[in-house]
Amino acid sequence: MEIYFFSRLDYTSEMIIIFILYFAIGIIASTLGAIAGLGGGVIIKPVLDLVGHFDLPTIGVLSAATVLSMATISLLKARKKEIKVDKATSLTIACGSIFGGIVGKAIFNIIAISLNIPKTTAIIQSTILAILLSFIYIYFKRKHKLKSHVIKNKMIIFAVGFSLGFLSAFLGIGGGPLNVAVLCLFFSMTAKNAGINSIFIIFFSQLSALLLIAFTTGFADYDLFMLFFMIPGGIIGGLIGSHYVTKLTNLQVEKVFNITVLIIIFINLYNIIRFLIS
């Protein structure tokens, strides 16, 4: 009886640590996501790959639901602040990203589920993400030397959104850093304005991704118990990030963005090596 008691006690302690871990992942990713427009998915996805408790489709749902909760809170808080959403541009990008997301998710499902090669898919995702983030990091370090643009053509803006949605859905990241880089480069937004507009785009892309699953395969095959810990983390992270983003300068927001992107690059590189040798 004594051995059984202590084994149960050890199991309970281990589960509590796991619950705290997933809550912490949700709150840290969402706080950084709300501050810099990263969304949080670009952090959650590689970190959950690293933890290794769930398969790729489940990680995608956990990430999308957590990011959606953060984006909802951030947008509600932004209504009362001086940082504004460029609804005309961002809504066009969001519409494009929804269609691109459907295509990207379909291709992901073919590779990861139909072909049943999750390890290869994870390596491809991590490699593409590491390369894209490296380019984004270099861009922000040299942004002051590069000319930005202001695209007005709706079809081009829609096409930009489609490309962002496709990459985001295939990589399972929500699109935050890609959105911010594109908004700064092609629409001449400051880091803070790009951040809130990125979250606006992410809100629609993640909502559509979850609705697509709900009306097609459903959620029965996904192990989503950790959402009870990650969604509260996303909500609290959204509140914290929204509070601090108005107090930070554009330069400080860029620093948060760059440091976070650099950390994510190294996590992805570690994941690639781990997948290759496992």
List the chain domain ranges: 2-277
- Residues 130-170 have pLDDT tens digits of 999 999 999 888 887 777 778 889 999 999 999 988 888 88
How far is C-alpha 251 from the geometric centre of its chain's CA atoms?
A: 22
What pLDDT does residue 173 have? 78
For residue 82, the model assigns a pLDDT of 64
Q: Is the CB of residue 215 less than 8 Å from the CB of residue 54?
A: no
Cα R_g (the chain), whole angstroms = 19
Residue 237's pLDDT band (cuts 50, 70, 90): very high
Q: What is the pLDDT of residue 88?
A: 85
* Residue 17 CB partners (closer than 8 Å, separation 6+): none
Helices and strands counted in the chain (H then E): 10, 0
Residues 170-216 pLDDT 10s: 887 777 888 888 888 888 888 888 888 888 888 888 888 888 888 88
